[in-house]
Amino acid sequence: MFSLLETFVHIVEQETLVKAAEVMHLSQPTVTRHLQQLEEAYGMPLFNRSGRKLLLNPAGELVYRYAKQHLALDEKLRDELNSFSDPEQGTVRLGAGLTLSIYLLPPVLAQFRAHHPHVAFQVRTGSSAETLRALREREVDVGLVTTFPEPNDDLEGVPLLRDPLRAVAAPNHPLAQRTDGATLETILAQPLVLMKRGSGLRDMVEELAANRGVALTISMETDSLESISRLVQHDAGISFLPRTLAADDVAAGRLRVIRITNASLGARTMTLVTRRDGMLPACTALFCQDIRQWLRGEMEEKEP
């Protein structure tokens, strides 16, 4: 049926069987036979004949409209299937947290696009939980998360980067001005600006406090690390931020890192996640390979 519809569309657009045969590199009897078979299949004529020209009747107009849609869908399907074997075309459907999308991904995506200009990106932001859900529901093909539950039967995670936490304060905060640093207990006892409950970063801070026997005093909480950074800059309290997020503000003097004298804060781990049961488009597989190499080469831990 597909070849019959393809022939029919050429007949309509060329207006004669002879021209349609020339465009399709077929004999005129073959084109005529295709048209006859299509009309037999639908049980009615599709053209009104006017000399050598063929004029669509109402039934033919309906078939032509649907045939064009069918051929366009087939072309789209072939293009998308081709993306599974051609890494230089297609779309990388990526899910990532907002912080990663702002502070980590722009140079990675720009570098990849510079080398593979025909590959497009669709970036969907959300929490780690939202990104994992989008992966399971096949709304994205690859995710970058900072919270990945193990074990996991349907998703596969590859750790990419350990992003160490830093205790940060406004430059005029007394602890920020101390050259000898401060103990973790002293820092935890200060008014804090933290992520809302249920976030991975909040869990890490609460675990640190529980291990040290410190009751937290939370002056403000929010669902945005960027908001935390701005609040701390305005001396709303101390907080704990990933190095990648804090680095620019520290370098510009808007934040200051408090040196901790008796403990390590640990780190968030960025994990690349894919579905275990799926075959990635070639461009997405290439992106996964490139981001691992880029992080190995460019994201060595540096003090902010």
Measured distance between the N- and C-terminal CA atoms of the chain, rounded to whole angstroms: 65
CA dihedral (88, 90, 93, 94) in degrees, to 10, reads: 10
Distance (Å, rounded) from C-alpha 89 to C-alpha 119?
5
Strands 267-275 and 155-169: antiparallel
Closest CA to 161 of 292, 53, 273: 292
26 Cβ contact partners less than 8 Å away, ≥ 6 residues apart: 7
Helices 28-42, 17-24: inter-axial angle, 10-degree rounding: 110
Distance CA 271, CA 117 (A): 26
The SS3 of residue 182 is strand
User: How high is the pLDDT of residue 184?
Assistant: 96
What would the pLDDT profile of 146-181 be if each residue is shown by its tens digit? 888 877 889 999 988 888 999 999 999 999 999 999
Contacts of 7 (CB under 8 A, 6+ apart): 20, 24, 26, 31, 34, 35, 38
Q: Are 31 and 42 in contact (CB under 8 A)?
A: no
Q: pTM for this structure?
A: 0.65
b/e string for 90-100 if b means 16 or more Cβ within 10 A? bebbbbbbebb
pLDDT of residue 20: 86
C-beta separation of 101 from 125 below 8 A: yes
Taking only the tens place, the pLDDT of each residue in 101-143 is 888 889 899 999 999 999 999 999 988 889 999 999 989 999 9
Domains of the chain: 2-82 (1.10.10.10), 90-161+269-298 (3.40.190.10), 163-267 (3.40.190.290)
pLDDT above 80: residue 4: yes
Burial (CB < 10 A; 0-12, 13-18, 19+), residue 83, is buried
Residue 277's contacts (CB-CB under 8 Å, 6 or more residues apart) are 154
Integer Cα distance of 207 and 46 in angstroms: 74
Band the pLDDT of 38: cuts 50, 70, 90.
confident
Cis amide bond preceding 151, omega within 30: yes
Angle in degrees, CA 206, 211, 215, rounded to 5: 55
**Looking at residue 297, what is its pLDDT?**
58
Mean pLDDT across the chain, nearest whole number? 88
Contact predicate 7/24, CB 8 Å: yes
Structure tokens of 269? Answer: 């781990």
- As a whole number, mean pLDDT of residues 60-65 equals 88
Residue with tokens 């430059």: 171
* Tens-digit pLDDT profile for residues 222-255: 988 999 999 999 999 999 999 988 999 999 999 9
Mean pLDDT of 83-95: 86
